[in-house]
Amino acid sequence: MRKKIVAGNWKMNTTLQEGVGLAKDVNEALKKVQPKCDVVICVPFTHLAPVNDVIDQSKLGLGAENCADHDKGAYTGEVSAPMVASTGATYVILGHSERRQYYGETSDTLKTKVNLALQNNLTPIFCIGEVLEQRENGTYLDVVKSQIEEALFGLSADDFSKLILAYEPVWAIGTGKTATDDQAQEMHAFIRDVIEKQYGKKVSENISILYGGSCKPSNAAGLFAKPDVDGGLIGGASLDAESFMGIVNAF
Ligand code: 13P
């Protein structure tokens, strides 16, 4: 059975003090419930080690939002996968549309990052998704298929099985306009099919595919009820412990 997961992506939000406070609040809230899913927070690099000190990682996983495409060296300002792993984090978001859009990340760079993450025992949460124009001109399935093929199909089945995928339609991110339950299900089932053709049914059935894009407590249950939606990657609503827990408890 594949895992159900709710992961927060804090993006470039919270000071260190605010972030540690938020992590503590989520950690406390998780002590009071028996979540039916794994719960993860992905936080800015500066927050990783201090957040690791205040959470119980058996209940709340910790991840970074990116890592470099080199493992060390003269790359001023970059943070490598070994550095992320050395903080105690075990997840890393890769290929987020904001990284593709604003920082020019390509499938080639992402291929390298995924390999470095895996070599350092980090679980990549790999993001894919189409922009509005591609949704409207009907190419959205092909776009997402290419994103998966280009960056990930060089992996062995064993390595591919270690990934978590996150379908995040770019038009739904931070816009308040979520994909409908059926739009999410259509894409998730399609992604599983693409994976099955490359790696077989066992791999495709076991991989967790999260939905991201304006997911909130009020729409999470409907999305998570779809058979191929295995949880969510949550932006804005993960910045408040109560709303984040509202999504966790939607399972
Ligand atoms: P929002 O939940 O703020 O739309 O962001 C989604 C996202 O980009 C998570 O990675």
Taking the CA of residue 96 as reference, the ligand 1 atom at the shortest distance is: 10
DSSP per position, 29-97: HHHTS--SSEEEEE--GGGHHHHHHHS-TTTSEEEES---SSSSSS-TT---HHHHHHTT--EEEES-H
The pLDDT of residue 67 = 98
Residue list, ligand 1 pocket, CB within 6 Å: 9, 96, 168, 173-174, 212-215, 233-237
Residue identifier of the C-alpha nearest atom 9 of ligand 1 = 235
* Cβ atoms of 187 and 135 closer than 8 Å: no
* Cβ atoms of 81 and 120 closer than 8 Å: yes
The pLDDT of residue 1 = 84
How far apart are the CA of 146 and the centre of ligand 1, in A? 22
DSSP state of 213: S
The pLDDT of residue 185 = 98
- Considering 47, 96, 105, 130, which one is annotated as catalytic? 96
Which of 93, 234, 238 has the most ligand 1 atoms within 8 A of CB, as the residue to mutate?
A: 234
- Catalytic residue flag (residue 168): yes
Angle between helices 140-152 and 107-119 (to 10 degrees): 50
Tell me if the pTM is above 0.95. yes
Which of 173, 177, 210, 211 has the most ligand 1 atoms within 8 A of CB, as the residue to mutate?
A: 173
Taking the CA of residue 173 as reference, the ligand 1 atom at the shortest distance is: 4
How far apart are the CA of 178 and the centre of ligand 1, in A? 10
Distance CA 251, CA 98 (A): 28
How far apart are the CA of 173 and the centre of ligand 1, in A? 5
* Cβ atoms of 164 and 126 closer than 8 Å: yes
Taking the CA of residue 166 as reference, the ligand 1 atom at the shortest distance is: 10
Positions in the chain short of pLDDT 50 = none
Distance CA 233, CA 3 (A): 14
Distance CA 199, CA 63 (A): 26
How far apart are the CA of 124 and the centre of ligand 1, in A? 17
- Catalytic residue flag (residue 205): no
